[in-house]
Homo-oligomer: A and B are copies of this chain.
Amino acid sequence: MFLSNPYATDLVMEYLQKELIENGNLRDVLEHYPSQQNALCEEFSKALHVKSENLFIGNGAIEIIQALMQQVVDKKAVVPIPTFSSYYEFAKQDSQVVYYALDQQNDYKFNTNHFIDFIQNENPDTVILINPNNPNGAYLKLDEMRTILKALKDVKQIIIDESFIHFAYDDEAMELIDSTPLFYEFNNVIVVKSLSKDFGVAGVRLGYALMKEELVKGLLSKGYLWNLNGIAETILKFFSQKQFQNRYEIIRKNYIIECQNFFKGLENIPGIYVYPSQANFALIKLPSYIPSSLFVAYLLYEYGIYVRTANDKIGLDGEYVRIAVRRAEENEQMLNAIGLVMEQF
Protein backbone atom coordinates (compact mmCIF):
# COMPACT_ATOMS: atom_id res chain seq x y z
CA MET A 1 0.00 0.00 0.00
CA PHE A 2 1.45 3.35 -1.01
CA LEU A 3 2.10 5.90 1.67
CA SER A 4 0.45 8.65 -0.30
CA ASN A 5 -2.54 10.96 -0.29
CA PRO A 6 -4.85 9.70 -3.06
CA TYR A 7 -6.85 12.94 -3.08
CA ALA A 8 -3.67 14.84 -3.89
CA THR A 9 -3.05 12.41 -6.74
CA ASP A 10 -6.52 13.38 -8.04
CA LEU A 11 -5.51 17.04 -7.98
CA VAL A 12 -2.14 16.56 -9.66
CA MET A 13 -3.71 14.32 -12.31
CA GLU A 14 -6.36 16.96 -13.02
CA TYR A 15 -3.63 19.54 -13.58
CA LEU A 16 -1.52 17.16 -15.66
CA GLN A 17 -4.55 16.26 -17.74
CA LYS A 18 -5.08 19.92 -18.54
CA GLU A 19 -1.43 20.87 -18.96
CA LEU A 20 -0.12 17.83 -20.82
CA ILE A 21 -3.00 15.96 -22.42
CA GLU A 22 -5.57 18.62 -23.31
CA ASN A 23 -3.00 21.26 -24.15
CA GLY A 24 -1.04 18.69 -26.14
CA ASN A 25 2.24 19.31 -24.35
CA LEU A 26 2.98 15.70 -23.40
CA ARG A 27 5.20 15.12 -26.41
CA ASP A 28 7.22 18.27 -25.77
CA VAL A 29 7.80 17.29 -22.17
CA LEU A 30 8.99 13.80 -23.10
CA GLU A 31 10.96 14.65 -26.25
CA HIS A 32 13.00 17.61 -24.99
CA TYR A 33 15.73 17.60 -22.42
CA PRO A 34 14.37 18.72 -19.07
CA SER A 35 15.74 21.91 -17.57
CA GLN A 36 19.04 21.62 -15.79
CA GLN A 37 19.22 21.51 -12.00
CA ASN A 38 20.19 25.17 -11.52
CA ALA A 39 17.34 26.46 -13.71
CA LEU A 40 14.84 24.30 -11.82
CA CYS A 41 16.16 25.54 -8.46
CA GLU A 42 15.92 29.12 -9.60
CA GLU A 43 12.27 28.65 -10.50
CA PHE A 44 11.15 26.40 -7.64
CA SER A 45 12.93 28.41 -4.92
CA LYS A 46 10.33 31.17 -5.30
CA ALA A 47 7.44 28.81 -4.52
CA LEU A 48 9.33 27.55 -1.47
CA HIS A 49 10.48 31.00 -0.31
CA VAL A 50 14.07 29.87 -0.02
CA LYS A 51 17.25 31.01 -1.68
CA SER A 52 17.94 29.15 -4.88
CA GLU A 53 21.56 28.50 -3.85
CA ASN A 54 20.30 26.45 -0.88
CA LEU A 55 18.10 24.23 -2.97
CA PHE A 56 18.91 20.82 -4.39
CA ILE A 57 16.24 19.00 -6.38
CA GLY A 58 16.34 15.23 -6.53
CA ASN A 59 15.05 12.35 -8.58
CA GLY A 60 12.95 11.43 -5.57
CA ALA A 61 14.08 12.04 -2.00
CA ILE A 62 15.91 8.72 -2.27
CA GLU A 63 18.49 10.26 -4.64
CA ILE A 64 19.09 12.98 -2.06
CA ILE A 65 19.38 10.49 0.82
CA GLN A 66 21.88 8.52 -1.25
CA ALA A 67 23.88 11.67 -2.03
CA LEU A 68 23.91 12.75 1.62
CA MET A 69 24.82 9.37 3.06
CA GLN A 70 27.51 8.78 0.45
CA GLN A 71 28.97 12.23 0.04
CA VAL A 72 28.08 14.46 2.97
CA VAL A 73 28.33 12.17 5.98
CA ASP A 74 31.92 12.24 7.12
CA LYS A 75 32.74 9.42 9.55
CA LYS A 76 29.84 8.77 11.84
CA ALA A 77 26.07 9.19 11.60
CA VAL A 78 23.48 8.59 14.30
CA VAL A 79 20.22 7.14 12.99
CA PRO A 80 17.27 6.69 15.35
CA ILE A 81 15.54 3.32 14.90
CA PRO A 82 13.07 2.09 13.88
CA THR A 83 13.25 4.20 10.75
CA PHE A 84 13.39 4.30 6.94
CA SER A 85 16.03 1.74 6.05
CA SER A 86 17.81 3.67 3.28
CA TYR A 87 19.40 5.89 5.93
CA TYR A 88 21.51 2.98 7.07
CA GLU A 89 21.53 0.76 3.98
CA PHE A 90 23.11 3.45 1.80
CA ALA A 91 25.70 4.58 4.34
CA LYS A 92 29.18 5.18 2.95
CA GLN A 93 31.38 2.11 3.25
CA ASP A 94 33.99 3.69 5.49
CA SER A 95 31.48 5.55 7.68
CA GLN A 96 29.94 4.28 10.88
CA VAL A 97 26.20 4.21 11.55
CA VAL A 98 25.24 4.29 15.22
CA TYR A 99 21.64 3.42 16.04
CA TYR A 100 19.72 5.35 18.64
CA ALA A 101 16.96 3.00 19.78
CA LEU A 102 13.67 4.81 20.33
CA ASP A 103 11.92 3.51 23.41
CA GLN A 104 8.96 1.21 22.88
CA GLN A 105 7.69 2.08 26.37
CA ASN A 106 7.52 5.69 25.23
CA ASP A 107 5.66 4.73 22.00
CA TYR A 108 8.91 5.21 20.03
CA LYS A 109 8.61 8.95 20.58
CA PHE A 110 11.69 11.07 21.10
CA ASN A 111 12.84 11.74 24.61
CA THR A 112 14.53 15.02 23.80
CA ASN A 113 16.96 15.16 26.71
CA HIS A 114 17.90 11.52 26.48
CA PHE A 115 18.59 11.93 22.77
CA ILE A 116 20.71 15.03 23.30
CA ASP A 117 22.79 13.20 25.92
CA PHE A 118 23.22 10.27 23.57
CA ILE A 119 24.44 12.49 20.74
CA GLN A 120 26.81 14.41 22.99
CA ASN A 121 28.34 11.14 24.14
CA GLU A 122 28.64 9.68 20.66
CA ASN A 123 29.91 12.87 19.04
CA PRO A 124 28.87 12.01 15.46
CA ASP A 125 29.35 14.35 12.50
CA THR A 126 25.82 13.67 11.25
CA VAL A 127 22.47 13.20 12.97
CA ILE A 128 19.36 12.00 11.14
CA LEU A 129 15.91 13.02 12.34
CA ILE A 130 12.85 11.85 10.45
CA ASN A 131 9.84 13.91 11.41
CA PRO A 132 7.23 12.48 11.53
CA ASN A 133 9.13 9.24 11.83
CA ASN A 134 8.56 6.26 9.56
CA PRO A 135 7.25 3.58 10.39
CA ASN A 136 5.53 4.85 13.55
CA GLY A 137 4.47 8.42 12.69
CA ALA A 138 5.69 10.02 15.93
CA TYR A 139 5.96 13.77 15.49
CA LEU A 140 8.35 16.26 17.09
CA LYS A 141 6.89 19.75 17.32
CA LEU A 142 8.96 22.63 15.96
CA ASP A 143 9.81 23.87 19.48
CA GLU A 144 11.03 20.41 20.55
CA MET A 145 13.07 20.29 17.36
CA ARG A 146 14.48 23.71 18.19
CA THR A 147 15.49 22.47 21.67
CA ILE A 148 17.40 19.61 20.07
CA LEU A 149 19.05 21.85 17.48
CA LYS A 150 20.13 24.41 20.11
CA ALA A 151 21.81 21.67 22.10
CA LEU A 152 23.46 20.15 19.03
CA LYS A 153 24.99 23.23 17.41
CA ASP A 154 28.39 21.56 17.39
CA VAL A 155 27.29 18.62 15.30
CA LYS A 156 28.51 19.15 11.74
CA GLN A 157 25.16 18.44 10.13
CA ILE A 158 21.67 17.51 11.19
CA ILE A 159 19.50 16.01 8.50
CA ILE A 160 15.79 16.55 9.10
CA ASP A 161 13.70 14.39 6.80
CA GLU A 162 10.23 15.91 6.49
CA SER A 163 8.82 13.55 3.91
CA PHE A 164 5.61 13.14 5.93
CA ILE A 165 5.37 16.62 7.47
CA HIS A 166 2.35 17.62 5.36
CA PHE A 167 0.29 15.16 7.42
CA ALA A 168 1.36 16.62 10.78
CA TYR A 169 -0.31 19.49 12.62
CA ASP A 170 0.29 21.58 15.68
CA ASP A 171 -3.32 22.56 16.35
CA GLU A 172 -6.78 22.33 14.78
CA ALA A 173 -5.95 25.01 12.19
CA MET A 174 -3.57 22.42 10.71
CA GLU A 175 -1.40 24.98 8.98
CA LEU A 176 1.44 23.64 6.88
CA ILE A 177 4.54 23.01 8.98
CA ASP A 178 8.02 23.12 7.60
CA SER A 179 11.53 23.55 8.88
CA THR A 180 12.64 26.34 6.58
CA PRO A 181 12.83 28.75 9.56
CA LEU A 182 15.01 26.22 11.41
CA PHE A 183 17.18 25.86 8.33
CA TYR A 184 17.90 29.60 8.31
CA GLU A 185 18.24 29.69 12.13
CA PHE A 186 20.84 26.92 12.48
CA ASN A 187 23.64 26.61 10.02
CA ASN A 188 24.08 22.85 10.42
CA VAL A 189 20.57 21.88 9.30
CA ILE A 190 19.79 20.00 6.10
CA VAL A 191 16.11 19.49 5.26
CA VAL A 192 15.06 16.56 3.05
CA LYS A 193 11.60 16.47 1.54
CA SER A 194 9.97 13.81 -0.56
CA LEU A 195 7.08 15.03 -2.67
CA SER A 196 5.90 11.49 -3.45
CA LYS A 197 3.81 11.03 -0.33
CA ASP A 198 1.99 14.32 0.12
CA PHE A 199 1.32 14.85 -3.58
CA GLY A 200 0.71 11.18 -4.29
CA VAL A 201 3.04 10.84 -7.27
CA ALA A 202 5.73 8.33 -6.29
CA GLY A 203 6.07 7.22 -9.92
CA VAL A 204 7.18 10.70 -10.94
CA ARG A 205 10.28 10.77 -8.70
CA LEU A 206 10.49 14.18 -7.11
CA GLY A 207 12.06 15.48 -3.94
CA TYR A 208 14.18 18.35 -2.74
CA ALA A 209 16.55 19.38 0.00
CA LEU A 210 17.66 22.58 1.65
CA MET A 211 21.32 22.77 2.51
CA LYS A 212 24.24 25.15 2.76
CA GLU A 213 25.36 26.62 -0.52
CA GLU A 214 28.75 24.91 -0.25
CA LEU A 215 27.06 21.50 0.05
CA VAL A 216 24.87 22.19 -2.99
CA LYS A 217 27.95 23.25 -4.94
CA GLY A 218 29.80 20.13 -3.83
CA LEU A 219 27.01 17.90 -5.12
CA LEU A 220 26.65 19.78 -8.40
CA SER A 221 30.37 19.45 -9.06
CA LYS A 222 29.77 15.70 -9.13
CA GLY A 223 26.80 15.75 -11.52
CA TYR A 224 23.02 15.92 -10.96
CA LEU A 225 22.72 17.95 -14.11
CA TRP A 226 19.55 16.57 -15.70
CA ASN A 227 18.22 14.42 -12.88
CA LEU A 228 14.58 15.47 -13.21
CA ASN A 229 12.26 14.17 -15.89
CA GLY A 230 9.80 16.30 -17.85
CA ILE A 231 6.71 15.20 -15.89
CA ALA A 232 8.43 16.07 -12.59
CA GLU A 233 9.39 19.46 -14.00
CA THR A 234 5.78 20.07 -15.05
CA ILE A 235 4.57 19.28 -11.52
CA LEU A 236 7.19 21.60 -10.01
CA LYS A 237 5.60 24.41 -11.98
CA PHE A 238 2.19 23.72 -10.38
CA PHE A 239 3.62 24.50 -6.94
CA SER A 240 4.07 28.12 -7.95
CA GLN A 241 0.39 28.49 -8.86
CA LYS A 242 -1.76 30.08 -6.19
CA GLN A 243 -4.86 28.18 -7.32
CA PHE A 244 -3.04 24.86 -7.07
CA GLN A 245 -1.66 25.75 -3.63
CA ASN A 246 -5.11 26.71 -2.35
CA ARG A 247 -6.79 23.58 -3.62
CA TYR A 248 -3.98 21.42 -2.28
CA GLU A 249 -4.29 22.96 1.17
CA ILE A 250 -7.97 22.00 1.41
CA ILE A 251 -7.20 18.46 0.27
CA ARG A 252 -4.28 18.18 2.67
CA LYS A 253 -6.29 19.25 5.71
CA ASN A 254 -9.22 16.99 4.84
CA TYR A 255 -6.85 14.08 4.48
CA ILE A 256 -5.30 14.76 7.89
CA ILE A 257 -8.79 14.53 9.39
CA GLU A 258 -9.35 11.30 7.46
CA CYS A 259 -6.03 9.94 8.78
CA GLN A 260 -6.83 10.77 12.39
CA ASN A 261 -10.35 9.30 12.07
CA PHE A 262 -8.84 6.12 10.69
CA PHE A 263 -6.38 5.90 13.58
CA LYS A 264 -9.29 6.28 16.04
CA GLY A 265 -11.12 3.50 14.22
CA LEU A 266 -8.07 1.25 14.57
CA GLU A 267 -7.80 2.00 18.28
CA ASN A 268 -11.35 0.78 18.72
CA ILE A 269 -10.48 -2.68 17.42
CA PRO A 270 -9.82 -4.94 20.41
CA GLY A 271 -6.33 -6.42 20.64
CA ILE A 272 -4.60 -3.83 18.45
CA TYR A 273 -2.23 -1.26 19.86
CA VAL A 274 -1.90 1.85 17.68
CA TYR A 275 1.16 4.06 18.06
CA PRO A 276 0.30 7.77 18.03
CA SER A 277 0.89 8.99 14.48
CA GLN A 278 0.94 12.34 12.73
CA ALA A 279 1.85 10.76 9.44
CA ASN A 280 -0.52 9.12 6.95
CA PHE A 281 0.14 5.65 8.24
CA ALA A 282 -0.16 3.86 11.54
CA LEU A 283 2.17 1.37 13.11
CA ILE A 284 0.15 -1.19 15.00
CA LYS A 285 1.29 -3.86 17.41
CA LEU A 286 -0.52 -7.17 17.41
CA PRO A 287 -0.80 -9.46 20.41
CA SER A 288 2.23 -11.76 20.48
CA TYR A 289 0.10 -14.81 19.58
CA ILE A 290 -0.81 -13.31 16.18
CA PRO A 291 2.07 -13.52 13.70
CA SER A 292 2.06 -10.33 11.65
CA SER A 293 2.81 -12.30 8.48
CA LEU A 294 -0.37 -14.33 9.00
CA PHE A 295 -2.37 -11.17 9.72
CA VAL A 296 -1.11 -9.58 6.50
CA ALA A 297 -1.76 -12.72 4.45
CA TYR A 298 -5.29 -13.00 5.85
CA LEU A 299 -6.11 -9.41 4.94
CA LEU A 300 -4.75 -9.86 1.44
CA TYR A 301 -6.36 -13.19 0.57
CA GLU A 302 -9.68 -12.69 2.32
CA TYR A 303 -10.23 -9.01 1.65
CA GLY A 304 -7.77 -7.97 -1.05
CA ILE A 305 -6.20 -5.44 1.30
CA TYR A 306 -2.46 -5.00 1.31
CA VAL A 307 -0.71 -3.84 4.47
CA ARG A 308 2.94 -4.28 5.32
CA THR A 309 4.55 -6.15 8.18
CA ALA A 310 7.16 -4.03 9.89
CA ASN A 311 9.03 -6.94 11.45
CA ASP A 312 11.98 -6.42 9.11
CA LYS A 313 12.60 -2.94 10.54
CA ILE A 314 15.68 -2.80 12.72
CA GLY A 315 14.57 -1.61 16.13
CA LEU A 316 11.16 -3.28 16.17
CA ASP A 317 10.82 -6.44 18.18
CA GLY A 318 7.37 -8.02 18.09
CA GLU A 319 4.48 -8.39 15.69
CA TYR A 320 4.16 -5.08 13.88
CA VAL A 321 2.19 -3.94 10.86
CA ARG A 322 2.24 -0.59 9.08
CA ILE A 323 -1.05 0.51 7.54
CA ALA A 324 -1.32 3.38 5.07
CA VAL A 325 -4.37 5.62 5.03
CA ARG A 326 -6.28 5.76 1.75
CA ARG A 327 -9.65 7.24 0.73
CA ALA A 328 -12.51 7.41 3.26
CA GLU A 329 -14.43 4.49 1.74
CA GLU A 330 -11.34 2.26 1.50
CA ASN A 331 -10.42 3.10 5.07
CA GLU A 332 -13.89 2.07 6.20
CA GLN A 333 -13.45 -1.26 4.40
CA MET A 334 -10.02 -1.71 5.96
CA LEU A 335 -11.33 -1.12 9.46
CA ASN A 336 -14.12 -3.66 8.93
CA ALA A 337 -11.76 -6.23 7.48
CA ILE A 338 -9.16 -5.76 10.22
CA GLY A 339 -11.88 -6.12 12.84
CA LEU A 340 -13.06 -9.37 11.26
CA VAL A 341 -9.54 -10.73 10.94
CA MET A 342 -8.83 -9.98 14.59
CA GLU A 343 -11.93 -11.97 15.55
CA GLN A 344 -10.45 -15.05 13.84
CA PHE A 345 -7.66 -15.36 16.34
Interface residues, chain A, with chain B CB atoms under 8 Å away: 2, 4, 6, 9, 12-13, 16, 21, 26-34, 59-60, 62-63, 65-66, 69-70, 86, 90, 93, 196, 200-205, 221-233
CB distance from A190 to the nearest CB of B (A): 17
Inside 8 A of A59's CB, which chain B residues have their CB?
Answer: 59, 63, 205, 227, 229
A230 to B205, CA, bound (A): 8
Please name the residue on chain B nearest to A85 by beta carbon: B225
Is the CB–CB distance between B30 and A204 below 8 Å?
A: yes
Q: Given A227-B59, A231-B229, A232-B229, is A203 in contact with B30 using a C-beta cutoff of 8 Å? A: yes
Is the CB–CB distance between A63 and B223 below 8 Å?
A: yes
Inside 8 A of A233's CB, which chain B residues have their CB?
Answer: 203
CB distance from A230 to the nearest CB of B (A): 3
Q: Given A21-B21, A27-B9, is A227 in contact with B33 using a C-beta cutoff of 8 Å? A: no
In the complex this chain forms, how many copies of it are found?
Answer: 2
A279 to B96, CA, bound (A): 47
Is the CB–CB distance between B31 and A201 below 8 Å?
A: yes
The contact of A90 among B26, B30, B202, B223, by CB within 8 Å, is B223
Residue in A26, A32, A223, A229 whose Cβ sees the most chain B Cβ within 10 Å: A229
A59 to B16, CA, bound (A): 22
Inside 8 A of A62's CB, which chain B residues have their CB?
Answer: 223, 225-227
User: Could you show 30 A-B contacts with beta carbons less than 8 Å apart?
Assistant: A2-B32, A6-B31, A13-B27, A13-B30, A16-B26, A30-B204, A30-B231, A31-B200, A31-B201, A31-B202, A33-B196, A33-B203, A34-B205, A59-B59, A59-B227, A59-B229, A62-B225, A62-B226, A62-B227, A66-B223, A66-B224, A69-B223, A86-B223, A90-B221, A90-B223, A203-B231, A205-B226, A205-B227, A205-B228, A205-B229
A83 to B93, CA, bound (A): 33
Closest 10 CB pairs of A and B: A203-B230, A66-B223, A33-B202, A30-B203, A205-B229, A90-B223, A9-B31, A59-B59, A30-B201, A229-B229
